[in-house]
Structure 1
Amino acid sequence: MSDLLDLQQVSAGYGEAIVITRIDLRLQPGESLAVLGRNGTGKTTLLNTIIGVTRHRGGTIALAGRNVTGLRPDMRALAGIGWVPQERNIFKSLTVEENLTAVARHGLWTVSRVYEMFPRLKERRANMGNQLSGGEQQMLAIARALVLNPKLLLLDEPTEGLAPIIVDELLAALKRIIRDEGMSAIVVEQHAQKVLGVTDSAVILDRGTIVHAGSSRSLIENPAPLEQHLGVTARKTPRRAANH
């Protein structure tokens, strides 16, 4: 099976600054990947490089066998990359339904289908984007990417700043989209525990390079790399005071 996404020795950044260096990354059709790391390690830059909004400094990016390294972001989107940035980028002056119909392309993911995935959006379909809560705006941002019917979905910190109950609802939806529907996805997330149950594999970035790659399950079962690179430690039972 040919790779859906193939990054070979990719380096990129902003202006004169190089943020990610010599990244090798491959993703199969239907595979999902978590990108983990502390703040400032290059996670968002990696997604920005795949969509084409950074300064390319070396290497190649191929999507479904097509070299997209030199393509503009809009052309990469047309080639099949759906992007949900941290800023969400919804149209706040349009209704929920207008946000979806304005960008929808023919395919399996229709407006009706995303309403089934996100019932809150169906309830709010006549509301303007600026009338939605933060969690609803994030759902709309994901729904907008889905109705583009992409080959690959990129999500940058999708749970950031959301209430715990909304995080649980959003992660459940993402699990259905990725696991049940087979959507290929790369999810950037600072908090590993939130995303490892959703994705097939994971990489950890540190100082712009991949320092660990493996299955999500292996990281759940053996969190030593998380402890080493993210400072995530297992909860320990307090020691009882000795009786004297």
Structure 2
Amino acid sequence: MSTLLRLDQLVAGYAEAQVLNHVDLVLDAGQSLALLGRNGAGKTTLINTIVGVTTHHQGRIFLEDRDITDLRAEHRAAAGIGWVPQERNIFRSLSVEENLTVAARPGRWDLASIYSMFPRLGERRRNLGNQLSGGEQQMLAVGRALMLNPRLLLLDEPLEGLAPIIVDELLAVLRRVVTEEGLSAIIVEQKARKVLPLTDEAVVLNRGAVVLREQSETLLAHPEELESLLAV
């Protein structure tokens, strides 16, 4: 496999505060990664740093062979990084369809495929973002990221605060996109046992540093070790 994403000795945070501590990470094309750790371990900061919305202090970020360290966030999106932030960040005054198409790029994922995958969005295509439930807003956030037709999909706590039936729907979509279609992804999730079956490997962060990289199925087979690492 070819390398899609490489982080070299990455140090980043917010203003003068350093959260990430010399992080090295490699993700191959077609590979999926669960990013785990206790609250405050630096998981969201790592995702945000790849996206380009934190303060960079040291190290480099490469997307394939391209150094994207100094690119603005919108240029990283254009280079192939799709992002589903924890806050969702949908446009509340735009319709579902306008949200999906505002930054869409040509490729595998279009309106028809998103509506097929999320029938609720198709039914509510004329509704404004602020007229959607929390679960529907999360579906919209995932659909909007896919409409960029990214090479790398980053998801930050995609299951947080959702009803069990919506969690099951989103997991089915992620299984299709990541496991069946092979879109490279990094998924931050507190519900480790939900996301590990969808991913190839898991990385555990502690105090902004990588403390473990392991096959996802290995961690699932050793729940005691998982509980010790995550305090879950």
TM-score (norm 2): 0.97
The 1-side partners of 2:230 and 2:100 are apart by 37
Give the match for residue 147 of structure 2: 147
**Mapped pair 1:124 → 2:98:** no
Cα distance, 1:228 vs structure 2: 1.9
- Map of 1:205-220 to 2, 5 A cutoff? 205-220=205-220
Partner AA of 1:138 in structure 2: Q
More off after superposition, 223-232 vs 193-202: 223-232
Instruction: Spell out, residue by residue over 1:80-103, the C-alpha distance to the aligned partner (whole angstroms, 9 max, x if none).
Output: 100110111111111111111222
Partner AA of 2:88 in structure 1: R
**Mapped pair 1:89 → 2:89:** yes
Cα distance, 1:2 vs structure 2: 2.4
Is contact 1:7-1:25 (8 Å) kept?
yes
Q: Helix, strand or coil: the match of 2:198?
A: coil
Is contact 2:3-2:29 (8 Å) kept?
yes
Is contact 2:151-2:183 (8 Å) kept?
yes
Give the match for residue 32 of structure 1: 32
Give the match for residue 48 of structure 2: 48
Give the match for residue 115 of structure 2: 115
More off after superposition, 220-229 vs 131-140: 220-229
The 2-side partners of 1:49 and 1:223 are apart by 30
The 2-side partners of 1:38 and 1:164 are apart by 22
Give the match for residue 60 of structure 1: 60
Q: Helix, strand or coil: the match of 1:196?
A: helix
Is contact 1:35-1:187 (8 Å) kept?
yes
Give the match for residue 23 of structure 1: 23
More off after superposition, 222-231 vs 82-91: 222-231
Is contact 1:10-1:22 (8 Å) kept?
yes
The 1-side partners of 2:168 and 2:85 are apart by 19
Is contact 2:114-2:143 (8 Å) kept?
yes
The 2-side partners of 1:102 and 1:209 are apart by 36
Is contact 1:34-1:195 (8 Å) kept?
yes
The 1-side partners of 2:25 and 2:172 are apart by 26
Cα distance, 1:197 vs structure 2: 1.1
Greater C-alpha radius of gyration: 1
Is contact 1:36-1:191 (8 Å) kept?
no
Gaps in structure 2 of 5+ consecutive residues = none
Q: Helix, strand or coil: the match of 2:3?
A: coil
Q: Helix, strand or coil: the match of 1:4?
A: strand
Partner AA of 1:67 in structure 2: D
Instruction: Spell out, residue by residue over 1:120-142, the C-alpha distance to the aligned partner (whole angstroms, 9 max, x if none).
Output: 11111111111110000000000
The 1-side partners of 2:147 and 2:227 are apart by 38
Is contact 1:156-1:189 (8 Å) kept?
yes
Q: Helix, strand or coil: the match of 2:92?
A: coil
**Mapped pair 1:70 → 2:70:** yes
Is contact 2:9-2:22 (8 Å) kept?
yes
TM-align CA RMSD? 1.0
The 2-side partners of 1:162 and 1:138 are apart by 9
Cα distance, 1:223 vs structure 2: 2.7
Partner AA of 1:43 in structure 2: K
Instruction: Spell out, residue by residue over 1:128-185, the C-alpha distance to the aligned partner (whole angstroms, 9 max, x if none).
Output: 1111100000000000000111110000000111111111111111111111111111
The 1-side partners of 2:105 and 2:5 are apart by 21
The 1-side partners of 2:167 and 2:203 are apart by 22
Q: Helix, strand or coil: the match of 2:212?
A: strand
Q: Helix, strand or coil: the match of 1:94?
A: coil
Is contact 2:84-2:141 (8 Å) kept?
yes
Gaps in structure 1 of 5+ consecutive residues = 233-244
Give the match for residue 239 of structure 1: none
Is contact 2:51-2:76 (8 Å) kept?
yes
